[in-house]
Structure 1
């Protein structure tokens, strides 16, 4: 049985956290990333990952990855192993609507004879020893795998319910950012997107003007209107927001 005092404190923190998750002010992937980090810590995990569930033939892990706090080197090495689409995790998620909990290296390895020792090595450390995973769907039916990894034991029934609800609400918030990205793409003109892409590539306004065959004044005008449409205060914030929304 759980300690009532600890449970009360956790419930209070959980309620505060949920109020932040439900805030309409959360509109970007960066803000969802911050909330996912909070959720991960709130429930005693150390890392999280959200990825589109692969379908059909082999698909690279990095092509499916949406949000993650995994170390960059781990993402690269797991992508190189090319096992995500044939992993135990994906196979099990396809056959259940319930959350999964298990040893990370077993869930993220390939099934049966295709299993690879290198995956066991990647997830051998205590920091990502266990994984809690659920499959969630967008309103259009696209499937996503949501994982929390860490050195903790399996959550009990009550905590599993809290965790599932929290991840569901976070995922709904993330889906809003997808829709915001589509809306912003519709609002931004082709020239505004071109200017943002070249600026993200490190080009100055004068260089962009030469590339596009327009005046520097016009380039600046495009940046101002793009920033306004993206709800940004300056060019750099507009570029960062456009990148997070996958517009450029």
Structure 2
């Protein structure tokens, strides 16, 4: 098969994939997560992460994270290290509109400092050694860091363009779920928002009941309805989605 034929087949495959992403039927974060998994595998990567770019001050990674297939223990350790906002990779993203292909360990390294050893080894391993990173913005101007990582080599110019366009459309699809969050806010009552908000602050159901002056049974009831309206499977996922949708 000639290089031209391979390029035609690859372009047609990407076109079909992009068409599926652009479908208005994709409305939930779970559906975008599924598309992101497909995109990651299609381009030869193993892990992905989408996070709101931190502003100048120190901000926890977990509060900025939107979508990821990182192991939960890795997210927890990276969050605890509090290096996301100061990492060399984030700094490089701030300084360019072009995609970056670099070692994933730059998520840990800060300018002039050595990597945090315990966390650096997580990203230095073969499974997440190299990263394709790009800074993207929503139509409202909010900045996001989009990162794919794995063992593959640097993509060529044509594949970089395909990947950039794919990620751009994925972010636009993800943005639709943010807009859906606005309608969710309209559906949630004040109590259905207050209960997850206090839980996110570390309060137990008993403490929330005392704070709001209601019974523990009623707190549980509010959580159940809020979880259903947020299309979540449990309380923790409901809190996480409410945070991502900026409901709490």
Which range, TM-score by smaller chain? Answer: 0.7 to 0.9
Greater radius of gyration (CA): 1
Normalized against structure 1, the TM-score is what? 0.78
Supply the distance in 2 between the matched residues of 1:167 and 1:95 (Cα, whole angstroms): 19
- SS of match in other structure, 1:144: strand
SS in 2 for 1:26: coil
Correspondence 1:93-242 to 2 at 5 A: 93-113=93-113, 115-190=115-190, 193=193, 212=214, 223=225, 230=229
Equivalent residue number for residue 50 of structure 1:
50
CA separation in 2, counterparts of 1:144 and 1:103?
Answer: 19
189-198 vs 88-97, which deviates more?
189-198
Aligned-pair distance for 1:121?
A: 1.1
Q: Shift in Å at residue 55 of structure 1? A: 1.2
The TM-score, its normalising length taken from structure 2, stands at: 0.78
3-state SS, counterpart of residue 113 of structure 2: helix
Q: Do the aligned partners of residues 181 and 238 (structure 1) sit closer, same or farther apart at CA in structure 2, a change above 3 Å counting?
A: farther
Deviation at 1:187, TM superposition (A): 3.4
Following the alignment from structure 2 to structure 1, what is the Cα–Cα distance between the partners of residues 165 and 177? 19
Residue in 2 aligned with 1:92? 92
Aligned to 1:244: 241
Task: Encode CA deviations 1:137-163: one digit per residue, 9 max, x unaligned.
Answer: 112211110000011000000000000
1:105–1:123 CA contact under 8 A, matched in 2 = yes
| Secondary structure of 2:144's aligned partner | strand
Q: CA RMSD in A?
A: 3.6
**Counterparts in 2 of 1:195 and 1:104: CA distance versus 1, 3 Å:** closer
Contact 1:28 1:241 in 2 (8 A): no
Unaligned runs of 5+ in 1: none
Matches of 1:135 and 1:119, distance apart in 2: 23
Equivalents in 2 of 1:134, 1:159: separation in Å? 14
The 8 Å contact of residues 132 and 147 in structure 1, kept in 2 or not, is answered as: yes
CA contact 2:87–2:107 (8 Å) conserved in 1:
yes
